[in-house]
Chains A and B, each alone.
Chain A
Amino acid sequence: MVKEDLLHSLLESTLDSQRVFPREEAASYAVDGVIPQVVAMPATVEEVAEVMRLASREDAAVIPWGSGTTMSLGNTPRRYDIALCLSHLNAVVEYEPADVTATVQAGKTLADLQRHLADHGQFLALDPPSAEETTIGGILAVNASGPSRHAYGTARDLILGMRAVQADGRIIKAGGRVVKNVAGYDLSRLFIGSLGNLGIMVEASFKLAPLPRAERTAVVLLPSAQEAWRLAAQTANLSLRAVELLNAPALRQVATVGGAAEDGYALVLAAAGEPAAVDRSLRELGELSRRAAAALFAEVDASAQRQLWQAIVSLARPSASGTALICKAAVLPSQVPALSERIETTGRELGLAPLLVSHLTAGIVYSVWPLPQDEGVQQALDLATALRQAVAGLGGSLVVEACPLALKEKIDVWGEPAADFPLMRRIKKQFDPQGILNPGRFLGRL
């Protein structure tokens, strides 16, 4: 392939040959089965810029790559020439603990960063799946979050500024490194969740948080999702870090709680913060559970807490085999019970038992459907369509986060674009006129 040779030689003249790999070695960088012509691993922001200048000159399609944990998300790429792997950009650029802010490069893994910050009693308050592998850039690209969003919000609540390399290779900065800053348009938040579709995020500055001095976890079993919601609605003032709602199959996956978990729903709640506030929160949760006639109220052993939360966070993590269907629905928090029941009913009708795990107070419901191999794409399509209808009726959104490849040929995994889509298209056109950044993978196949 001429294009491949060209790219390869050009990249070699730009980067160290140790950090350029040809197509034969690029199989592990495939996206939806599409293998890139070449893998480039720049070590500096300037090298990222060089690669993008080259890509735009050669009209080569680029997919930025962190650790690859979330590459199942998105539509199938329209074209894919260069895998731009950012794992060498893994430095902490600036960290002044007394300012409680940090600036890091995009290729740093979340776990690495957390270890660095923990030495000073601080952390970045994001807890998406796969913390050991997932990178800061990857988290920002997909706006990944976890149970802690109950207390801390998402990346858009913690970002202070960023640097990005644009499609034409120009390096830009948005925002800054201080906690309050309204100078200029908020490109940082625009870039978050844009799937690397507008530019390559190379560096980000965050507001950090002090590590909570205490944390305790409780599990409450309730007969229905509705009752779980009623209980959760009374906890607004408590010092809670996370409020997760699991259906029985999901609970069985993460914990052994005996016969009580045959049916119904479990609230898993983490209280975190000052010891006195945590103790009071646990006490009150116990009382609320008694009043709600919960089948079970149990505090999780301190030594098992971490593992339990890791298991919960991992429930909706896409598997390598790609056989499951994973959907993320977002509705109003009060609609989570009704949506959960509806999803379970849909499952029963099809003889399937989905795992349901929700960030309850954010209104986000993940459903994980193990698909029988022989059913092919039809069942996944029926499911996605049924769920999308249910969610659309509630005014929410549904993203298919992982699915059998064949399904991606039939649907836009992000859903139908809305009235604001023409504006998105104009922004894409302004930032990436050639369409070389992650082409086709975003909403409306942007």
Chain B
Amino acid sequence: MADRKLVRELQAIVGRDAVLHAPEDLLVYEYDATIERGLPEAVVLPTSVQQVSQVVKLARRRGLPITARGAGTGLSGGAIPTAGGIVLVMTRMKRILEIDAENRLAVVETGVVNLDLSAALSRYDLYYAPDPSSQKACTLGGNVAENAGGPHCLAYGVTTNHVLGVEVVLADGQIVWLGGKTADRPGYDLRSLVIGSEGTLAIITKIILRLMPLPEATITLLAIFDEMEQASQAVSTIIGKGILPAALEMLDKMTMRAVEEAVHAGYPPDADAVLLIEVEGLRDSVGEQAEAVRAVCESTGAREVRIGFSPGERQALWAGRKGALGALGRLAPSYYILDGTVPRTKLPQVLRGVYQVGEKYGFPIANVFHAGDGNLHPNIPFDESQPGQVDKVLAAGAEIMRLCVDAGGTITGEHGVGMEKREFMRWIFTDDDMDAMMRIQEAFAPGQPFNPGKIFPAAIGSGETISRQQAVIQSLGPDACI
């Protein structure tokens, strides 16, 4: 809880209604969409970059860490204030400042909700491509901080491919633009460092985004498989043949059952797996592309390939896909979602391994993920209140992460390292690699004033707080997961 003087000083900057300090109010900000927790001393909801700058200066004087937070939909504990201090909630900075349709860019404040931007753009026949499943709620600032992805990032790239510049508040309170509206700016690409830095380098206050023209034609396909193996083989084959769909998603049986119970999206709950595929482009060529996709799916053993959905049906399929996490949430009191990426050719092998891990630990595992990118999201429903379950689920998660790394992949494709995966960083980076990254932090924000205890393993970063994931891994020993 905050001391009165701190509260008064914060109120003097942002106003009385923009500081939360009562214990019951703070509780709302101790978690995100993961199973980690951390309580702040005060929560501040600024409305301008000047306020952010003043809060940063105040926190610096008082030696308090600052954790920026958007909508709290993060899936790696990135917005959890592990070391206490101040949580800066950016959701009141939500103006779309400029839409330049001619140059296909938009300038927004950091708290603008992802989907709200695309809604505002539709009358210009433009949209913002990265579409995380939480896009109805998540903020663009959070997307930038985590370098978020989404189903349609297969063809168009993740957040970093769509951000031209960011206005940030640095550790000394200075307000500065990194990158900008024009291309190829001279100097180091500092913009790219801040994107995906998980709030550890600077506080993002404004963003310049690259916009895309809405495609002329889109065809949605649903390929239905009786064997998961066939579905993952279809994914590898589509990519290997040089067909680049706009989206290529996989849902397994458990996911489909949960989704159908929750929203009746139109998935066949008796199938082992489906691929939800979209091809986009000119109406002259999408038909041919769709046929090519269909042919691959049929040749790899699809029981049926549905095509020709009405706009309503298409919307329902996507609502089901993007709502899958929520639907799975109904199966058990808690869930643990993972985010590894593997080379697309390794998908069949790694998926087999994922189900084996589930069997070994006695968990059902639901898989719903960006198959075309090789970006897996194994999802483990469990009961947090059962003794030992948390440790078990984290151990299973670690084993799955190890499978991804051993297949030549990585520990996070789009959710960020946050606090939960920081011990896994050692599996993909050496001490020298991480030391180089720490020197970036030293240049931007010496002393870790922003979001301490994230990304880097405890001994490398200075954060002493240990996540539940770390505790489990340490108890298992260094090679336990191999």
Q: Which of B188, B408, B434 contacts A427 (CB 8 A)?
A: B188
In the complex, which residues of chain B have a beta carbon less than 8 angstroms from the beta carbon of A239? 281-282, 285
Q: Report the minimum CB–CB distance from A87 to chain B (whole Å).
A: 26
Q: Report the minimum CB–CB distance from B444 to chain A (whole Å).
A: 7
Q: Which of A181, A189, A442 contacts B341 (CB 8 A)?
A: A181
Q: How far is the CA of A421 from the CA of B345 in the complex (A)?
A: 43
Which of A97, A170, A211 is packed against the most chain B CB atoms within 10 Å? A170
B214, closest chain A residue (CB): A237
Say yes or no: A237-B416 contact (C-beta < 8 A), given A122-B242, A276-B285, A397-B184. Answer: no
Q: Report the minimum CB–CB distance from B236 to chain A (whole Å).
A: 6
- Binary interface profile of B, 166-206, with partner A (CB < 8 Å = 1, else 0)? 00001000101110111111111110110111000100000
In the complex, which residues of chain B have a beta carbon less than 8 angstroms from the beta carbon of A99? 239-240, 343-345
In the complex, which residues of chain A have a beta carbon less than 8 angstroms from the beta carbon of B146? 182
Q: Which of A122, A153, A423 contacts B170 (CB 8 A)?
A: A423
Q: Report the minimum CB–CB distance from A365 to chain B (whole Å).
A: 11
Asked if A424 and B183 make an inter-chain contact with CB atoms under 8 angstroms apart, the answer reads: no
In the complex, which residues of chain A have a beta carbon less than 8 angstroms from the beta carbon of B464? none
B441, closest chain A residue (CB): A185
In the complex, which residues of chain A have a beta carbon less than 8 angstroms from the beta carbon of B153? 180
In the complex, which residues of chain A have a beta carbon less than 8 angstroms from the beta carbon of B408? 177-178
- Binary interface profile of A, 164-202, with partner B (CB < 8 Å = 1, else 0)? 001000111110111111111111011011100010000
Q: Report the minimum CB–CB distance from A192 to chain B (whole Å).
A: 7
Asked if B161 and A183 make an inter-chain contact with CB atoms under 8 angstroms apart, the answer reads: no
Say yes or no: A180-B374 contact (C-beta < 8 A), given A189-B160, A189-B189, A280-B284. Answer: yes
Q: Report the minimum CB–CB distance from B454 to chain A (whole Å).
A: 11
In the complex, which residues of chain B have a beta carbon less than 8 angstroms from the beta carbon of A100? 239-240, 242, 344
Asked if A364 and B375 make an inter-chain contact with CB atoms under 8 angstroms apart, the answer reads: no
Asked if A186 and B196 make an inter-chain contact with CB atoms under 8 angstroms apart, the answer reads: yes
- Binary interface profile of A, 79-111, with partner B (CB < 8 Å = 1, else 0)? 000000000000000001111110000000000
B-contacting residues, A235-277, CB 8 Å: 236-239, 273-277
- Which one of B16-24, B356-364, B423-431 is at the interface? B423-431
For the complex, is B370 an interface residue (Cβ under 8 Å from A)? yes
Asked if B103 and A334 make an inter-chain contact with CB atoms under 8 angstroms apart, the answer reads: yes
Q: How far is the CA of A139 from the CA of B192 in the complex (A)?
A: 18
Asked if A182 and B182 make an inter-chain contact with CB atoms under 8 angstroms apart, the answer reads: no
| Tally of A interface residues using CB under 8 Å | 84
For the complex, is A22 an interface residue (Cβ under 8 Å from B)? no
For the complex, is B109 an interface residue (Cβ under 8 Å from A)? no
Q: How far is the CA of A399 from the CA of B430 in the complex (A)?
A: 37
Asked if B414 and A182 make an inter-chain contact with CB atoms under 8 angstroms apart, the answer reads: yes
Which of B180, B282, B408 is packed against the most chain A CB atoms within 10 Å? B282
For the complex, is B373 an interface residue (Cβ under 8 Å from A)? yes
In the complex, which residues of chain B have a beta carbon less than 8 angstroms from the beta carbon of A192? 189
Q: Which of A182, A184, A210, A364 contacts B413 (CB 8 A)?
A: A182
For the complex, is A347 an interface residue (Cβ under 8 Å from B)? no
A180, closest chain B residue (CB): B413
For the complex, is B443 an interface residue (Cβ under 8 Å from A)? yes
For the complex, is A279 an interface residue (Cβ under 8 Å from B)? yes
In the complex, which residues of chain B have a beta carbon less than 8 angstroms from the beta carbon of A421? 187
In the complex, which residues of chain B have a beta carbon less than 8 angstroms from the beta carbon of A68? none
Q: Report the minimum CB–CB distance from A329 to chain B (whole Å).
A: 9
Asked if A187 and B188 make an inter-chain contact with CB atoms under 8 angstroms apart, the answer reads: no
Asked if B187 and A277 make an inter-chain contact with CB atoms under 8 angstroms apart, the answer reads: no
Asked if B190 and A423 make an inter-chain contact with CB atoms under 8 angstroms apart, the answer reads: yes
Asked if B341 and A184 make an inter-chain contact with CB atoms under 8 angstroms apart, the answer reads: no
Say yes or no: A277-B285 contact (C-beta < 8 A), given A363-B182, A419-B176, A420-B190. Answer: yes
Q: How far is the CA of A277 from the CA of B195 in the complex (A)?
A: 34
Q: Report the minimum CB–CB distance from B443 to chain A (whole Å).
A: 4
Q: How far is the CA of A187 from the CA of B438 in the complex (A)?
A: 11
For the complex, is A430 an interface residue (Cβ under 8 Å from B)? yes
A275, closest chain B residue (CB): B285
Q: How far is the CA of A143 from the CA of B188 in the complex (A)?
A: 11
A-contacting residues, B339-375, CB 8 Å: 341-345, 370, 373-375
In the complex, which residues of chain B have a beta carbon less than 8 angstroms from the beta carbon of A415? 186
Q: How far is the CA of A171 from the CA of B432 in the complex (A)?
A: 7
Asked if B188 and A194 make an inter-chain contact with CB atoms under 8 angstroms apart, the answer reads: yes
For the complex, is B437 an interface residue (Cβ under 8 Å from A)? yes
In the complex, which residues of chain A have a beta carbon less than 8 angstroms from the beta carbon of B375? 180
In the complex, which residues of chain B have a beta carbon less than 8 angstroms from the beta carbon of A23? none
Asked if A183 and B412 make an inter-chain contact with CB atoms under 8 angstroms apart, the answer reads: yes
Q: How far is the CA of A424 from the CA of B197 in the complex (A)?
A: 17
Asked if A430 and B440 make an inter-chain contact with CB atoms under 8 angstroms apart, the answer reads: yes
Q: How far is the CA of A414 from the CA of B184 in the complex (A)?
A: 11
Asked if A176 and B415 make an inter-chain contact with CB atoms under 8 angstroms apart, the answer reads: no
Which of B180, B182, B190, B201 is packed against the most chain A CB atoms within 10 Å? B182
For the complex, is A33 an interface residue (Cβ under 8 Å from B)? no
For the complex, is B11 an interface residue (Cβ under 8 Å from A)? no
Asked if A189 and B285 make an inter-chain contact with CB atoms under 8 angstroms apart, the answer reads: no
Q: Which of B185, B187, B243, B437 contacts A185 (CB 8 A)?
A: B437
Which of A179, A184, A396, A420 is packed against the most chain B CB atoms within 10 Å? A184
Asked if B213 and A443 make an inter-chain contact with CB atoms under 8 angstroms apart, the answer reads: no
Which of B181, B189, B197, B421 is packed against the most chain A CB atoms within 10 Å? B189
Asked if B284 and A279 make an inter-chain contact with CB atoms under 8 angstroms apart, the answer reads: yes
Say yes or no: A180-B436 contact (C-beta < 8 A), given A98-B239, A185-B197. Answer: no
- Binary interface profile of B, 431-461, with partner A (CB < 8 Å = 1, else 0)? 0111111011111100000000001000000
Q: Report the minimum CB–CB distance from B433 to chain A (whole Å).
A: 5
Asked if A178 and B409 make an inter-chain contact with CB atoms under 8 angstroms apart, the answer reads: yes
Asked if B182 and A332 make an inter-chain contact with CB atoms under 8 angstroms apart, the answer reads: yes
Q: Which of B178, B197, B243, B373 contacts A180 (CB 8 A)?
A: B373
A193, closest chain B residue (CB): B189
Asked if B411 and A183 make an inter-chain contact with CB atoms under 8 angstroms apart, the answer reads: yes
In the complex, which residues of chain A have a beta carbon less than 8 angstroms from the beta carbon of B436? 166, 170, 172, 174, 187, 431
Asked if A190 and B192 make an inter-chain contact with CB atoms under 8 angstroms apart, the answer reads: yes
Q: Which of B158, B343, B443 contacts A430 (CB 8 A)?
A: B443
For the complex, is A333 an interface residue (Cβ under 8 Å from B)? yes
In the complex, which residues of chain B have a beta carbon less than 8 angstroms from the beta carbon of A328? 184
In the complex, which residues of chain A have a beta carbon less than 8 angstroms from the beta carbon of B236? 98
Say yes or no: A176-B187 contact (C-beta < 8 A), given A182-B146, A274-B288, A420-B176. Answer: no
For the complex, is A116 an interface residue (Cβ under 8 Å from B)? no
Say yes or no: A182-B242 contact (C-beta < 8 A), given A177-B343, A276-B288. Answer: no
Asked if B433 and A184 make an inter-chain contact with CB atoms under 8 angstroms apart, the answer reads: yes
Q: How far is the CA of A363 from the CA of B184 in the complex (A)?
A: 10
For the complex, is A376 an interface residue (Cβ under 8 Å from B)? no
A-contacting residues, B216-275, CB 8 Å: 216, 236, 239-240, 242-244
Q: Report the minimum CB–CB distance from A285 to chain B (whole Å).
A: 13
Q: Report the minimum CB–CB distance from A184 to chain B (whole Å).
A: 5
For the complex, is A3 an interface residue (Cβ under 8 Å from B)? no
B440, closest chain A residue (CB): A185
Q: How far is the CA of A411 from the CA of B56 in the complex (A)?
A: 37
Q: How far is the CA of A395 from the CA of B103 in the complex (A)?
A: 14
Asked if B284 and A180 make an inter-chain contact with CB atoms under 8 angstroms apart, the answer reads: no
Which of A153, A178, A187 is packed against the most chain B CB atoms within 10 Å? A178
Q: How far is the CA of A179 from the CA of B244 in the complex (A)?
A: 13
For the complex, is B38 an interface residue (Cβ under 8 Å from A)? no
Q: How far is the CA of A182 from the CA of B145 in the complex (A)?
A: 10
A sample of 22 inter-chain contacts (CB < 8 A) reads A98-B240, A100-B239, A153-B161, A157-B157, A173-B429, A177-B408, A182-B149, A182-B196, A182-B416, A185-B197, A185-B441, A185-B455, A193-B189, A233-B102, A236-B104, A332-B103, A332-B181, A395-B180, A396-B182, A397-B185, A420-B177, A420-B190
Assuming A210-B243, A419-B176, what are 6 further A-B pairs, CB within 8 angstroms? A166-B436, A181-B410, A184-B425, A184-B434, A187-B437, A276-B284
Closest 5 CB pairs of A and B: A210-B242, A98-B240, A189-B192, A180-B413, A277-B285
Binding site for A on B (CB under 8 A): 100, 102-104, 125, 146-147, 149, 153, 157-158, 160-161, 170, 174, 176-178, 180-190, 192-193, 195-197, 201, 213, 215-216, 236, 239-240, 242-244, 281-282, 284-285, 288-289, 341-345, 370, 373-375, 408-417, 421, 425, 428-430, 432-437, 439-444, 455
